[in-house]
């Protein structure tokens, strides 16, 4: 899998249509690395974030910011501190979305903005339940937010002043699915789910279709846990990625298996890309699974 060092590319900045080359690399499982942050994070904001100490509790994995509701969850501290954190996360979220929309206007026209997060806890040696562990390789799927085959794009920034954030990857979905999706029985289970119950048909009839997980979502959630629990996969061949202090990177985490082994203090924004906006729709996990299954796994369009 490729690490694309965006700052090292020559020629004009790939805004707009020329950004399709980067979009294609991303959609085929590349990680786009920006060694220099593509937008500034004010020093005083970064210093404040670095002074945050979150108890290593299990209640909240991270501090989350929900742009649509302009709300922060999972933050501890005085009211003034929580308000300041809120302002900083709002600014980071907006700056990220602005940057992504300028570089990838084709995505921005139909994307759905998901949560942002602040990750203040050292990842090495973190104690979390097995399927919540960040240090076991997996592809992402969100239990509460089915994507129906749309893509999970995450934009990260390592704000640690001196230490890299260390990732490993056990490869991309196009290689993992043929190896595991069928033999594990997971794809057959997901197809079984595709026959909707009477209750699901009723919910669809009243327009609640988008809230119901599709067969694709059922598969991806189970595949997330399957990979974390699979000792052979975890022990297998992996590639390491070291994200330097101050760098940003973007990756489709439903495609690129990943685990974070160490690092502290990262910011992140998630957006859900619609299938219709992809430049390489045939590379999407849903397309790969539908080829294996020989049948659709989600309704074709978003709304």
| Cα(120)–Cα(124) distance, integer angstroms | 12
Q: Which of 250, 298, 292, 61 is nearest to 152 (CA)?
A: 250
Please give the residues from 151 up to 190 whose contact with ligand SIN meets the rule CB under 6 A: 165
Looking only at Cα atoms, what is the longest distance across the chain?
57
> Is 31 or 88 the residue whose CB approaches ligand SIN more closely?
31
Q: Closest separation between CB of residue 83 and ligand SIN, Å?
A: 25
Residue of the chain from 147, 214, 247, 253 that contacts ligand SIN (CB under 6 A): 253
> Can residue 260 be called a binding residue for ligand SIN (CB under 6 A)?
yes
Q: At what angle do helices 285-293 and 215-229 cross, to 10 degrees?
A: 100
Q: Closest separation between CB of residue 297 and ligand SIN, Å?
A: 23
| Cβ–Cβ < 8 Å for 15, 102 | yes
> Binding marks (x or -) toward Fe ion, 101..140, rule CB under 5 A?
---------------------------------------x
Radius of gyration of the chain (CA): 19
Binding partner selected for residue 270 from ligand SIN, Fe ion, none, CB under the kind-specific 5 to 8 Å limit:
none
Please give the residues from 136 up to 165 whose contact with Fe ion meets the rule CB under 5 A: 140
Determine the Cα angle at 165 with ends 48 and 279, to 5°.
105
> Can residue 119 be called a binding residue for ligand SIN (CB under 6 A)?
yes
> Binding marks (x or -) toward ligand SIN, 121..150, rule CB under 6 A?
-------------x-----x----------
Q: Report residue 4 as tokens.
A: 């694309």
Residue number with the smallest Cβ distance to ligand SIN: 260
Options 49-57, 195-203, 258-266, 286-294: segment touching ligand SIN (CB under 6 A) = 258-266
Beta bridge pairs of residue 118: 63, 267
Q: Closest separation between CB of residue 154 and Fe ion, Å?
A: 8
| Cα(35)–Cα(157) distance, integer angstroms | 10
DSSP-derived letter for residue 214 is P
Q: Report residue 104 as tokens.
A: 């990838």
C-alpha torsion 112→113→119→123, nearest 10: 10
Q: How many residues bind ligand SIN (CB under 6 A)?
A: 8
Chain residues binding ligand SIN by CB under 6 A are: 119, 134, 140, 165, 253, 258, 260, 266
Chain residues binding Fe ion by CB under 5 A are: 140
């Amino acid at each position: 899998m490729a690490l694309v060092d965006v700052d090292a590319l020559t020629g004009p900045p790939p805004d707009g249509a020329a950004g399709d080359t980067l979009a294609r690399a991303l959609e085929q499982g590349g990680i786009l690395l920006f060694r220099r942050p593509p937008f500034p994070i004010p020093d005083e904001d970064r210093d404040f974030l670095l002074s945050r100490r979150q108890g290593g509790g299990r209640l909240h994995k991270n501090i989350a910011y929900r742009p649509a509701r302009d709300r922060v969850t999972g933050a501890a501290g005085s009211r003034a501190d929580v308000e300041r954190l809120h302002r900083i996360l709002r600014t980071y979220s907006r700056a990220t979305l602005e940057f992504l929309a300028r570089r990838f206007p084709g995505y921005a026209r139909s994307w759905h903005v998901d949560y942002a997060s602040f990750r203040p806890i050292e990842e090495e040696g973190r104690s979390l339940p097995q399927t919540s562990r960040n240090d076991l390789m997996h592809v992402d799927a969100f239990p509460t937010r089915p994507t129906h085959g749309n893509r999970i794009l995450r934009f990260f920034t390592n704000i640690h002043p001196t230490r890299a954030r260390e990732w490993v990857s056990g490869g991309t979905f196009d290689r993992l699915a043929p190896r595991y999706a069928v033999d594990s029985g997971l794809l057959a289970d997901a197809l079984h789910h595709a026959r909707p119950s009477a209750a699901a048909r009723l919910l669809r009839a009243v327009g609640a279709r988008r809230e119901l997980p599709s067969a694709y979502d059922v598969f991806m959630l189970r595949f997330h846990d399957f990979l974390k629990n699979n000792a052979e996969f975890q022990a297998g061949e992996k590639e390491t990625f070291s994200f330097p202090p101050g760098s940003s990177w973007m990756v489709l985490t439903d495609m690129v298996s990943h685990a974070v082994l160490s690092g502290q203090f990262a910011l992140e924004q998630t957006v859900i890309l619609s299938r219709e906006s992809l430049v390489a729709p045939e590379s999407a996990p849903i397309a790969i699974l539908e080829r294996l299954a020989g049948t659709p796994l989600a309704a074709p369009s978003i709304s």
